Amino acid sequence: MIKLTNVSKHFHTRTGIVRALTNVSLEVQKGEIFGVIGYSGAGKSTLIRCVNLLETPTSGTVEINGTDVTRLPKHELLAIRRKIGMIFQGFHLLKTATVYDNIAIPLRLMDVSQQEIDKRVGKYLRIVGLEDKHDAYPSQLSGGQKQRVAIARALAQEPELLLSDEATSALDPETTESILELLLTINQELGITILLITHEMNVIQKICDRVAVMEKGEVIEQGRTVDIFANARHSTTKRFVNGTYHRELPPSLLRELRENGPVVRLSFVGESTGKPVLAAVSRQFDVSPNILAGGIIQLKQEKIGSLVVHLQGEGEETKKAIAFLEQQGVYVEEMERGHV
Ligand SMILES: Nc1ncnc2c1ncn2[C@@H]1O[C@H](COP(=O)(O)OP(=O)(O)OP(=O)(O)O)[C@@H](O)[C@H]1O
């Protein structure tokens, strides 16, 4: 549905050229929720602005449904932009307009009939759970309710694609959860494809089918969410994944343990979850596995079992044990830092 091929975007500033995006390639398929994660300045906003046609790439192509939108004349761009809804961290509601008008005004600008506007406002306020807030002003709503109105406004244009720019970043954890649930419903029940940018790995964890990780304007890693969680390759991706565990092993303890063998995180996905692999390790090798922490991460589609284990034993034996675990389909990551 969206295909970016070698997209670069450079800004010429007084202090020199800023390379906001360098050779970014990714593909968002119809019906999926695709997340782009990165720290501040990674280039996420520039990327999403290239997709909603607010920014023209310096080089590369952006295809939407097979059409390269970087070369379209203005009137055709407008038609494509109408298929794209957008929600933002700061909601972008008109303060002096009621909830009804916030949703209706863009529709009036698109020459939608009054009868159709009434129908759509009613329908989408119901979907976001705010049918009783027609006449409220944004100042009378909580942050979560404001985002729901913004979502209803985006949906009322009946887009094929919803772009979300840090839509939950200004919300508390509980409200974030409820907005993520709503985005899932929109994706699953209305069939709307969602491309979101975020700096929060829990957003990726809860709702994304696939994810791209960005750093310094480049995509450093991308894949299915389950693969990224179970088997991150790049150190920045590992930092994002490890940050979701919310627990820390004191560095001094980690150092002490590592003197008697590696501390590893084992991730179990699919078939590997049912195997008694640690019992097999202690039987087959001169290694004593000692479980330090464990938990289950619920992703959108799958669960990942995670165990942090100290493999007590000599170097050669622990290496063999790790190779055995990997053969059994378990992802093994040696812990060098304190997050578990
Ligand atoms: N219009 C612009 N002119 C000059 N530099 C820009 C412009 N827009 C973005 N940049 C620069 O491009 C880089 C990427 O910025 P971008 O806003 O895309 O990152 P981001 O990942 O969205 O970060 P944040 O989450 O902080 O918004 C930054 O160095 C930023 O300063």
Q: What is the per-residue pLDDT across 138-186, written as a single tens digit (0 to 9) for each?
A: 999 999 999 999 999 999 999 999 999 999 999 999 999 999 999 999 9
Out of 13, 15, 45, mutate this one to test ligand 1's pocket (max ligand atoms within 8 Å of CB): namely: 45
For ligand 1, atom 4, the nearest C-alpha belongs to 11
For ligand 1, atom 10, the nearest C-alpha belongs to 20
pLDDT of 82 reads 86
Check whether 274 has a pLDDT greater than 80.
no
pLDDT of 246 reads 63
pLDDT of 242 reads 82
State which fold the 2-241 domain adopts. Answer: Rossmann fold (3.40.50)
For ligand 1, atom 11, the nearest C-alpha belongs to 20
Check whether 298 has a pLDDT greater than 60.
yes
Match domain 247-334 to its CATH number in 3.30.70.260, 3.40.50.10470, 3.20.20.70, 1.10.3480.10.
Answer: 3.30.70.260
18 lines ligand 1 (CB under 6 A): yes
Distance 195 CA to ligand 1 centre (A): 18
Q: Extract the tokens encoding 73.
A: 């004349």
Check whether 43 has a pLDDT greater than 70.
yes
Q: What is the mean pLDDT of residues 23-34?
A: 97
pLDDT of 78 reads 84
Numbered ranges of CATH 3.30.70.260 in the chain: 247-334
Three-state SS sequence of the chain = CEEEEEEEEEEEECCEEEEEEEEEEEEECCCCEEEEEECCCCCHHHHHHHHCCCCCCCEEEEEECCEEHHHCCHHHHHHHHCCEEEEECCCCCCCCCCHHHHHHHHHHHCCCCHHHHHHHHHHHHHHCCCHHHCCCCHHHCCHHHHHHHHHHHHHHCCCCEEEEECCCCCCCHHHHHHHHHHHHHHHHHHCCEEEEEECCHHHHHHHCCEEEEEECCEEEEEEEHHHHHHCCCCHHHHHHHHHCCCCECCHHHHHHHHCCCCEEEEEECHHHHHCCHHHHHHHHCCEEEEEEEEEEEECCCCEEEEEEEEEEECHHHHHHHHHHHHHCCCEEEECCCCEC
Out of 18, 48, 197, mutate this one to test ligand 1's pocket (max ligand atoms within 8 Å of CB): namely: 18
pLDDT of 76 reads 85
pLDDT of 210 reads 97
Numbered ranges of CATH 3.40.50.300 in the chain: 2-241
- Mean pLDDT, the chain, rounded, equals 93
pLDDT of 301 reads 84
11 lines ligand 1 (CB under 6 A): yes
**Which of the listed ranges 19-23, 62-66, 234-238 does the model predict with the highest average pLDDT?**
19-23
pLDDT band at 335 (very low <50, low <70, confident <90, very high): confident
48 lines ligand 1 (CB under 6 A): no
Sequence-distant (6+) residues with CB within 8 A of 204 are: 35, 37, 198, 211, 225, 228, 240
Check whether 339 has a pLDDT greater than 60.
no
Distance 126 CA to ligand 1 centre (A): 36
17 lines ligand 1 (CB under 6 A): no
Which atom number of ligand 1 is nearest to the Cα of residue 49?
18
Question: Quick one: what percent of the chain has pLDDT higher than 90?
Answer: 80
13 lines ligand 1 (CB under 6 A): yes
Q: What is the mean pLDDT of residues 313-327?
A: 94
pLDDT of 244 reads 82
Out of 11, 203, 240, mutate this one to test ligand 1's pocket (max ligand atoms within 8 Å of CB): namely: 11
Q: What is the mean pLDDT of residues 279-286?
A: 94
Q: What is the mean pLDDT of residues 80-92?
A: 93
pLDDT of 19 reads 96
Distance 43 CA to ligand 1 centre (A): 6
**Which of the listed ranges 164-178, 259-273, 274-288 does the model predict with the highest average pLDDT?**
164-178
Nearest to 313 by CA among 294, 292, 334, 290: 290
Q: Which residues of 89-100 are buried (b: 16+ CB within 10 A; e: fewer)?
A: bebebeeeebbb
Of 55-59, 120-124, 181-185, 249-253, the one with minimum mean pLDDT is 249-253
Sequence-distant (6+) residues with CB within 8 A of 86 are: 52, 154, 162, 163, 164, 165
Distance 50 CA to ligand 1 centre (A): 12
For ligand 1, atom 2, the nearest C-alpha belongs to 11
Of 69-73, 132-136, 177-181, 231-235, the one with minimum mean pLDDT is 69-73
247 CB-side CA count, 13 A: 11
For ligand 1, atom 7, the nearest C-alpha belongs to 11
Quote the distance between the C-alpha of residue 180 and its chain's center.
Answer: 11
45 lines ligand 1 (CB under 6 A): yes
Q: What is the mean pLDDT of residues 310-334?
A: 93
pLDDT of 337 reads 66
Distance 42 CA to ligand 1 centre (A): 7
Predicted-complex ipTM score:
0.96
